[in-house]
Amino acid sequence: MTLLLKQIFGFVKLLNSETGTNQIAAGIAAGFVLGMTPFFSLQSILIFLCLFLFRVQIGAAFIAAFFFKFVAYLFDPAFDSIGGMILQMHSLSGVFTDMYNMPIVPLTRFNNTIVMGSGVVSLILAPFVYLGSRIGVIKYRATVVARIKGSKLWHALKATSLFKWYYKYDQLTHR
Amino acid sequence: MTNSPIDDATPTNTLPKPKGPIRTGAVIPTVILLLICFVFFHFFFDWSFKRALTWTGSHFYGAEVDIHSLKTSFWRGSIQIRGIELTDKQNPALDFLRIGEIHFGFLWDALLRLKFVVNNAGVDGIALYAPRVHPGWLKPSPKPSSGKTLKSNTSAESIGNSVVSQVKKLSPGDTLSGLAGLLQGTKQEALVKDLQGGLKSEARIKELQTEITQKQKEWQQKFAALPQKKDFINLINRAKALKFNPRNPKQFAENLQQAAEIKSELDQKLKQIKGTTDAFQSDVRNLTAQYKGIDQLVQQDIADTEASLHIGNLDAKTLTQALFMNWLAQKLGAYAKYMSLAREYMPAVKKSSSKKSSKSSGFFMAHARSHGRTFRFPITTGYPLFWLKRADISSKATASGFSGNITGSLTNVTTDPAIVGQPAVLDVKGDFPKADVYKIHLNVTINHVHKPLDTMKLSVGSYPVSAMKLVNSSSLHLGLKNAEGNSLIRAAYNDQTLNFNLQNTYTNVIYNIRSPSTQVKQILDQILTGITTVTLDASATGSLDHLNIGMNSNMGSALANGLRRYVQQQLNELQAKIKSTIENRIAGSKEQLAKQMGAAQNQFEKLLNSKNSEVRSAQNAILHQTTGRGSSLNNAANQLKKAAQHLLKGLHF
C-alpha cells in the first residue's frame, strides 16, 4: 500500500514537473491495456513485468488501470462481439487451434471473447492513448500548472519555511 | 521572490541526469528475489514438501505416514521419495506397507499447460508388516453415522462407515456368548432381570383397556340419543288416529299427508338405529382384531427376550453370521470406501460432459459465461490434470527385511479417464517370504471411461493367521490362535450395485478358547478339536445402502451340530420358560380385557336388540293401521265403481 501511494504521489509530482512526459504517457497507455483486460491472465503479468523493468510511470499506470476498468465494463458487449467475430473467423481457426494446443499460450485465455476483443481493441488504441495523453500532459502543464504557478496563493506558499524545508528535503533525497 | 529555492536550483545545478528506458534500480531487488527463491527451492523446498506430504498422508490415510527422504529436481521435473511407511491401523507397532522408493518425472510439455503427466514411474522395495521404530500415530475414529443416509453424506469415509454399520446390524449378535451363558445357567437369572422391564403385549393390553372404557362412554352417549319406546308409541297412536274417510275428501287428503309424515319419521328413526348399530359393530370388529393382535405381540416379546439374552437359533447360518459378520463388515467397509474414493478422484464421464466431448471434436464450441464466452478448439495435444501412464512395481526380498518379491504395474491412473480412454489397472503378483505370505495376485480395474465399473480380484495362496478374534465377551473368548489362510476375493462395483464374493480357507487351525466356565471350554474344545480346516464363503450383493449378505462356514455348521447336543435341551427349556413366563404374566390382564370386552359387547348388543324389536313392532303396527285403512278404501272405491256402472246401464249406454 505504501509503495502504491508512493507511486501515486510520484505521478502527481511528475505531472506537475517539467520532465517525464513520455513516462507518464507510456504509463497511461499501459494502464489502459491493463484496465481493458477483464481477468488476471498471462498478458497482465507481462504488462506488470514491463512496468517493473522499463522506466514507465507506475502510478500513472495504476490510476489509468483503475479508471479504465470502470470504462471497459461499459464496452464489454462490444468487446464480446468483436472477440466472438475474431475467434470465429474461419481463416484463423488453424492458428487458434494451434495456439490452443500450445503450452503456456492457453494461459492468456485468448479463447475468451472479451479477452480477445478487449485485447485487440486496447492494443490498437494504445498508441493513440499514448499520443493523446502525451499531448494532454503538455497542455496541462502549459495551461493549468502555469496558471497555478502564477497565482498569488502559490507565491505565498513558496515563501513559507515549510515549503522551503520540503524542497530541500526533496532535493537531498533525489540527489 | 527571485531568491526562491526553486528558481535557484532548477536551471543548471540540480538538473537530474537523464535516465535510460530500463529501470536499472529494479535489477538488484529482482536479483535478491530470485536468489531467495533459489535458496528456498534448493535447500528448503524438499523438506517442506516432505512435511506437507507426511501430514496430508497421515490425515488422509488415518494413521501415521512417514517419509524418510524426498528429492525433487526442477529441471528434470522429477520427484524421488524414499522410505514411505504406512502404519498398520490395527497394530501401530507395525507398518502395514513400506515402500523403499518411488520415483517419477513429470512431462514438461504437460507442466507448461498446468497438467501433471508421468510417463513412467518406479516403485521398489515393498514390505508388509515390518516392525516400526516407534508405534505410529492413529487418527481418532469418527462417530458412527448410523442415522444418516448415504445421500446426505457422500464422503468416502462415511460411505465405508455406513456399510460397516449396516452389515453389523445384520449380525445376529453375540449368539455364542449367549449359548455359553445358557450352559453356565446364568441365563435364568438374566431372564428374570430382563422381564422386569415392560412387555409390548402388556402395554398393548393396558392401551386396549383404556380404549374400551372410552368406547363404552361413547356408546352410552350414542345409545342415549337413540329414539325411545314412547316415541314409537306416539307414532303408532298417530297412525291409529287416521280415518281415511272417502266421503270426506279433504280429511282423506290430510290423513294421507299425515301417513306419509309418520312413515318418514319412522324411516329416520330406523336409519339412526341402523347407523348406530353399524358403528358399534365396526368398533367391536376393530377391538376384536386388536385383541387378536396381542398374540402376535406376545410372539414378538418372546423373540425380543430371546434376542436380549443372545440365544438365537442353533442353526449353521446364524452361528456363521455370529462368528464372521463383524469381520466381513470391516472388509466390505474398506472396499466400499476405496471404491468411493476412486469414483471421487477418477470421475466417470457424465452425460452432459459426454456431449461436450463429442462437440469438442467439431470446429467450435462455446458456452455462455458471466463475462463473455469461452471458445473451445479441437484438442490435438491435450492431457488430463493428472495422468500416471505407467508405474512399474518391483521389489526383491532381502534376508533381513520384510520386503517381498513383487512384480506388477499400475497403468493409466488419471483424473479424467474419458480423455485417456483407458481404465486404470493395478496388477501385482508376488510373495512376502519373511511374512509367510505367498502367491499374492491382486488385479484391480477401475474403469470410469464411460459408466463406472470397478472390479477387483485378490487371491492369496497362503498367509499366516494369528490372534483372529471371533467372539470376545465376558463369558467367552473364541478365535483362531494360529492358522494358515488362503483367500480369494472377487468384487465388482457396477454403477451403484456391488457384487462381492469371498472364499477363505483356514488350515492347521489352532483355536483360542477361553471361558470362565470349564464346561463351556470343554464343550467347545470337543466340538472344534476335530475341525482343523475352517472354510468361509461370503457374498454381498446389492446397493451400498441395502446389501444382501450370504454366509456359509463349516465352523458354523460344526458349532450348530455340536452345541445342539449340549444346549438344545436347555435352549428349549429356556425358550419354553420365556414363553410361559410372558404368557402367564399377561394372562390375567388379557382375561380381564376379554371379560371387559365381552361385558360391554353383551350390554350394548342387548340394548340394540331391544331397540330393533321396538322398531319392528312399531313398523308392524303402523303398517297394519295403514294397510287396514287401505283395504276399506279399496272397498269404497269398488262400490263406487259398481254404482257408476249400474247408473250407466240404466241410461242405456
A10 shares contact with chain B (CB less than 8 Å): no
Residue in chain B nearest A94 by alpha carbon: B377
Q: Looking at B138-147, B396-405, B428-437, B494-503, which range is the least confident one?
A: B138-147
Which chain B residues contact residue A159 at CB under 8 A? 1, 4
Q: What is the pLDDT of residues B75-86, one digit of tens each?
A: 888 999 999 999
Which of B2, B373, B376 to mutate to probe the A interface, most A CBs <10 Å?
B373
**Which residue bears the cell 490425515?**
B59
Q: What pLDDT is attached to residue B412?
A: 92
pLDDT of residue B633: 57
d(CA B88, CA B285): 64
* Closest to B488 measured CA to CA, from B465, B470, B452, B463: B463
Task: Tell if the CB–CB gap between B372 and A38 is shorter than 8 Å.
Answer: yes
Higher pLDDT, B495 or A50: A50
Judged by DSSP in three states, B482 sits in strand
C-alpha distance from A4 to closest chain B C-alpha (Å): 16
pLDDT category at B49 given cuts 50, 70, 90 is: very high
Chain A positions in Cβ-Cβ contact with residue B26 (cut-off 8 Å):
52-53
Mean pLDDT, chain B, rounded, equals: 79
Domain boundaries, chain A: 2-146
The residue with greater pLDDT, B16 or B46, is: B46
Residue A86 C-alpha, separation from nearest chain B C-alpha, in angstroms: 11
Q: What is the pLDDT of residue B150?
A: 43
Our measurement of the distance from residue A10's CA atom to the centroid of its chain's CA atoms, rounded to an integer in Å, reads: 14
Residues of B in contact with A156 (CB under 8 A): none
Is pLDDT above 50 for B153?
Answer: no
Between B553 and B196, residue with greater pLDDT: B553
Q: What backbone torsions phi and psi does residue A40 show, to the nearest 5 degrees? A: -80, 115
Question: In this predicted structure, what is the pLDDT of residue B537?
Answer: 92
Spatial separation of the C-alpha atoms in residues B457 and B461, rounded to whole Å: 13
User: In the prediction, which pLDDT does B83 show?
Assistant: 92
What are the two backbone dihedrals, phi and then psi, of residue B78, each rounded to the nearest 5 degrees? Answer: -115, 155
pLDDT band at B359 (very low <50, low <70, confident <90, very high): very low
Distance between CA B231 and CA B483 in Å, rounded?
A: 93
A45-49, B252-256, B403-407: which has the highest mean pLDDT?
Answer: A45-49
**Residues of chain B with C-beta less than 8 angstroms from the C-beta of A113:** 372-375
Q: How far is A79 from chain B (nearest CA, A)?
A: 9
pLDDT at B628: 59
pLDDT at B352 over 50: no
User: What span, in angstroms and rounded, lies between the C-alpha atoms of B478 and B322?
Assistant: 11
* pLDDT above 60: residue B651: no
The residue among B501, B502, B491, B493 whose CA lies nearest residue B543 is B493
What contacts A68, CB < 8 A, 6 or more positions away? A31, A32, A34, A35, A36
B10 confidence band (pLDDT: 50, 70, 90)? very low
Q: How does pLDDT run across B306-334, given as a tens digit for each residue?
A: 766 666 666 777 778 888 888 888 888 88
Measured between beta carbons, which residues in chain A are less than 8 angstroms from residue B378? Answer: 97, 100
Q: Find the CB nearest A113 among B20, B373, B381.
A: B373
- Which phi and psi angles does B444 have, rounded to 5°? -120, 125
Query: Does the CA dihedral A93-A99-A101-A105 come out positive or negative?
Result: negative
- Percent of chain B clearing pLDDT 70 (strictly above): 81
The 10s digit of each residue's pLDDT in B576-622 is 777 777 777 778 888 888 888 888 888 888 888 887 788 778 778 77
Q: Which chain B residues contact residue A171 at CB under 8 A?
A: 9, 14
To test the contact with chain B by mutation, choose from A93, A109, A111 the residue with the greatest count of B C-beta atoms within 10 A, namely A111
Statement: residue B189 has pLDDT above 70: no
Mark yes or no for CB contact B375/A111 under 8 Å. yes
Mutate to test the interface with A, among B14, B375, B376, B379 (most CBs of A within 10 A): B375
Q: Which tens digits make up the pLDDT trace of B260-318? A: 888 888 888 888 888 888 888 888 888 888 888 888 888 887 777 776 666 666 677 77
Residue in chain B lying closest to A80 (CA):
B372
- Tell me what pLDDT residue A50 has: 87
Assembly ipTM: 0.72
**What's the confidence (pLDDT) of residue B126?**
82
At B419-474, the pLDDT tens digits run 888 899 999 999 888 878 899 999 999 998 888 888 999 999 999 988 888 888 77
Is residue B146 pLDDT above 80, yes or no? no
The reported pTM is 0.56
> Which residue bears the cell 494451434?
A98
Low-confidence ranges of chain A (pLDDT < 50): none
> Worst-scoring range by mean pLDDT, A61-75, A110-124, B180-194, B502-516?
B180-194
By C-alpha distance, the chain A residue nearest B377 is: A97
> B109 to chain A: nearest residue by CA?
A103
In this prediction, residue B5 carries a pLDDT of: 42
